[in-house]
Amino acid sequence: MSTAIGAVMTGHIVTGRLEDQRITGTPLRYPEGPAEPDALVSMPAGELVDVLAGHIVRLAGSEAAAVDGIGVAVPGIVRHGVVEDSPNLPQIKGARLAADLARALKARGIEAPVHVGNDADAIAAGIAATRGRLDRLTRVWTIGNGIGYGRWPYVEGVWEGGHVTVTLDPRERYCGCGGIGHLEGIMGYRAMRLRFLDMEPEEVFANARKGDTRCREFVDLWHRALAAATASFIHLAGPGRFYFTGHNVGFLELSLLRSHLEGMVKMSPLQSFSLEILPQDDEIALIGTGVSALRRSAS
């Protein structure tokens, strides 16, 4: 039996224990209960590491020696255990998160290998594991405060799909990284708040359904932007199944997205794509972090 502990740190922290790729017990959350999308932004990186370490120790319990691997997923560019950039958690930019967490855990009596990866990649790994697709390409868009693009199996690269340029309009400056024309600058929750200072994003989509012209035009732009980014990945890596999940996946109208995609992908060999919405599920991401950690530990 393989045992792993997974942790996902995005708008909140959730941590769980996995045995043979299944969650055992009740995952831990920080903060407990509902949290604002920016709940972790004001916390120093060292405090975040302490929270992660505390959760892992609690989940390991008296069987710390039985833990085969520890997986952590965070938003941003993560390579070789280093968070090279993270616009949505800027305090961890440059952090040697794998080494920092391993050191904090060693001081608490746990010496299992630590693997740190991108949060969207963890979700892709979790979907692949729970659907028996570990031998096939799995791609997922995560729709929340930021926009993530994840894929399984992992291949070396940056894969910051949320920062794909989808418009040449110089007025599109709402992305958290400061870039112009990015997908996240249109679709991201924080970006929508900046764009509509008089309405929350939920109100924008509700008003669009009621026929408000300004809101309906934006909702169409939101879907066209996602279609443009998806079409780009279809043209680069081929068709197949795309999954959509995340805190704000309820904003997505699959029929509208499909209609825009069909206008962008015209080569017949590339038209066999399929689209599927999945409810947000922290356990999927936790399973993905565990699978990734165990695969890295075994390689």
- On whether both 81 and 129 belong to a single domain, the answer is no
Per-residue pLDDT tens for 217-239? 999 999 999 999 999 999 999 99
E-state strands within 68-124: 69-74, 77-79, 82-85, 114-118
Omega before 153 within 30 of 0, i.e. cis = yes
- On whether both 104 and 135 belong to a single domain, the answer is no
Indicate whether 192 pLDDT > 80.
Answer: yes
Last-in-domain residue among 119, 143, 174: 119
Per-residue pLDDT tens for 137-164? 999 999 998 999 999 998 888 899 999 9
- On whether both 156 and 52 belong to a single domain, the answer is no
- On whether both 141 and 270 belong to a single domain, the answer is yes
For position 31, which CATH number holds?
3.30.420.40
- On whether both 72 and 98 belong to a single domain, the answer is yes
Q: Which of 287, 295, 245, 291 is nearest to 15 (CA)?
A: 287
Per-residue pLDDT tens for 50-106? 999 999 999 998 887 889 999 999 999 999 999 999 988 999 999 999 999 999 999
Residue 187 lies in a domain: yes
- Give the position of tokens 């400056």: 173
201: tokens are 């994003």
- On whether both 29 and 145 belong to a single domain, the answer is no
Per-residue pLDDT tens for 10-26? 888 999 999 988 899 99
Number of domains in the chain: 2
pTM: 0.90
Last-in-domain residue among 119, 154, 180: 119
Residue 160 lies in a domain: yes
- On whether both 105 and 129 belong to a single domain, the answer is no
Count other Cβ atoms within 10 Å, centred on residue 73: 30
- On whether both 250 and 150 belong to a single domain, the answer is yes
- On whether both 105 and 247 belong to a single domain, the answer is no
E-state strands within 101-168: 114-118, 138-143, 147-152
Residue ranges making up the domain that contains 197: 124-277
User: How far is it, in rounded angstroms, from Cα 194 to Cα 281?
Assistant: 27
- On whether both 142 and 264 belong to a single domain, the answer is yes
Residue 30 lies in a domain: yes
Last-in-domain residue among 119, 150, 181: 119
Q: Which residues pair with 242 in a beta bridge?
A: 139, 275
Q: Which of 84, 87, 94, 92 is nearest to 176 (CA)?
A: 87
